[in-house]
């Protein structure tokens, strides 16, 4: 069976009913069609496979945190880890108490507090933050059409009170330097980036290729930094379900409340799947199930 057929078969094997629920915390996300399903895989030698709505754009949301982290890591290297740690955070419930215990240093760059610090770091380096971010994404994916969904960004911006609280709380510990509203603007643009499965898997492929873009040959980050980014995704990429994902799928990955999940097998491939309804831990219900089947069939997990 070829890989495209396998993708179709794995999709056919999903349960008839999807018990997940589409994210509704911002109106723009709630409008998405819950029956959408797409998947796209690309290997480090640039073979590509797809199924379903793999060329339809969706809001990548928290998946983008890996991209801003990569940009900050490029610029700060090890210095970055003085301002954000690399440990799993336990339950979401603990986030604020941990931030207090840890004196304003977020547990990792994948939780909101950590991603906000990463944005704060980048504002010290980028002349035109949103433009520079998109330029980076364009260079990774080889696709200049990727952009920010302005309605989603505006919608995020209007429900920023909690993120504003996190910023001010970290500022009280001296871990924030830039203006709160500038940080929030940048952060909301980041989360509102829209990609197709195809664009998403291509964008992340450098992390499966030891830090080098397979399309351009350009080195994005060092081999060692690549390993560390993958380790962070593995331990912190799926919110409070990182263990379950490592357990069932066994690859470094990152999810977003838009229903996307991207995962990668080092030296082998990157795969992006999209299905909007989320399980109660905030990850795509069918995305998780599909990737579990995929790694069972297509190839080994990293373990």
Does residue 268 interact with a second copy by CB under 8 A?
Answer: no
- Helix and strand numbers (H, E) in the chain are 13, 8
- CB of residue 19 vs a second copy: minimum separation in angstroms? 19
Radius of gyration over every alpha carbon of the chain, rounded to an integer in angstroms: 18
Task: Tell me if 236 sits within 8 A of 247, measured CB to CB.
Answer: no
Does residue 240 interact with a second copy by CB under 8 A?
Answer: yes
Residue 279 labelled as part of a binding site: no
Burial of 141 from C-beta contacts in 10 A (0-12 / 13-18 / 19+): buried
Report CA-CA distances (Å) from 52 to 121, 283, 294: 38, 19, 15
What is the rounded CA–CA span in Å between residue 34 and residue 275? 7
Residue 239 labelled as part of a binding site: yes
Q: Which of 155, 154, 174, 30 is nearest to 99 (CA)?
A: 174
Report CA-CA distances (Å) from 157 to 28, 123, 181, 215, 277: 12, 18, 9, 34, 23
Does residue 24 interact with a second copy by CB under 8 A?
Answer: no
Does residue 166 interact with a second copy by CB under 8 A?
Answer: yes
Residue 163 labelled as part of a binding site: yes
Query: CB 283: neighbour CB atoms within 10 A?
Result: 25
Interacting positions 269-298 with a second copy (CB under 8 A) = 296
Residues recognised as catalytic: 62, 65, 187, 239, 257
Site string for a second copy, 25-64 (x = CB under 8 A): ----------------------------------------
Residue 94 labelled as part of a binding site: no
What is the rounded CA–CA span in Å between residue 260 and residue 274? 4
What is the rounded CA–CA span in Å between residue 154 and residue 184? 11
Among 61, 70, 98, 209, binds a second copy (CB under 8 A): 98
The sign of the torsion formed by the CA atoms of 157, 144, 263, 84 equals negative
Which two tokens mark 187? 């952060």
Nearer to a second copy, 109 or 259 (CB): 109
Among 93, 181, 182, 299, binds a second copy (CB under 8 A): 93
- CB of residue 112 vs a second copy: minimum separation in angstroms? 12
Query: CB 223: neighbour CB atoms within 10 A?
Result: 12
Among 11, 40, 65, 107, binds a second copy (CB under 8 A): 107
**Per DSSP, what are the bridge partners of residue 195?**
58
- CB of residue 102 vs a second copy: minimum separation in angstroms? 8
Residue 73 labelled as part of a binding site: no
- CB of residue 87 vs a second copy: minimum separation in angstroms? 4
Among 236, 257, 291, 298, binds a second copy (CB under 8 A): 236
- CB of residue 55 vs a second copy: minimum separation in angstroms? 29
Map tokens 């799993």 to a residue. 88
Interacting positions 243-262 with a second copy (CB under 8 A) = 243-244, 246-247, 250, 252
- CB of residue 4 vs a second copy: minimum separation in angstroms? 25
Among 232, 288, 289, 298, binds a second copy (CB under 8 A): 232
Report the length, in residues, of the chain. 303
Contact set with a second copy (CB under 8 A):
85-91, 93-94, 96-98, 100-101, 107-108, 161-162, 164-169, 171-172, 224, 226-228, 230-232, 234-236, 240-244, 246-247, 250, 252, 266, 296, 300-303
What are the binding residues for substrate?
62, 112, 156, 163, 187, 239, 257
């Amino acid at each position: 069976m070829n890989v495209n057929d396998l993708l179709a078969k794995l999709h056919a094997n999903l349960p008839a009913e999807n018990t997940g629920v589409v994210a509704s915390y911002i109106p723009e996300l709630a409008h998405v069609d819950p029956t959408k399903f797409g998947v796209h895989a690309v290997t480090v030698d640039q073979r590509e496979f797809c199924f379903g709505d793999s060329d339809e754009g969706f809001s990548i949301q928290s998946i983008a945190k890996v991209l801003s982290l990569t940009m900050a890591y490029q610029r700060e290297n090890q210095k970055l880890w003085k301002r954000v740690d690399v440990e799993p955070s336990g339950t979401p419930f603990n986030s604020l108490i941990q931030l207090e215990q840890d004196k304003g240093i977020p547990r990792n760059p994948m939780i909101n507090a950590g991603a906000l610090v990463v944005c704060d770091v980048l504002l010290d380096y980028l002349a035109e933050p949103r433009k520079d971010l998109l330029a980076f994404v364009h260079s990774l994916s080889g696709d200049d059409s990727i952009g920010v969904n302005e309605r989603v960004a505006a919608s995020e911006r209007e429900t920023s009170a909690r993120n504003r609280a996190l910023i001010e709380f970290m500022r009280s510990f001296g871990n924030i330097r830039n203006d709160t509203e500038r940080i929030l603007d940048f952060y909301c643009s980041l989360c509102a980036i829209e990609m197709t499965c195809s664009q998403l898997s291509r964008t992340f492929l450098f992390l499966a290729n030891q830090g080098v873009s397979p399309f351009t040959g350009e080195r994005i980050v060092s081999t060692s930094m690549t390993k560390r980014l993958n380790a962070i995704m593995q331990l912190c990429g799926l919110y409070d379900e990182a263990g379950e994902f490592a357990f069932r799928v066994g690859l470094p990955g990152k999810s977003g409340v838009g229903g996307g999940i991207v995962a990668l097998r080092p030296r082998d491939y990157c795969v992006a799947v999209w299905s909007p309804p989320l399980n109660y831990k905030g990850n795509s219900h069918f995305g998780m199930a599909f990737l579990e089947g995929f790694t069972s069939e297509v190839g080994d997990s990293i373990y």
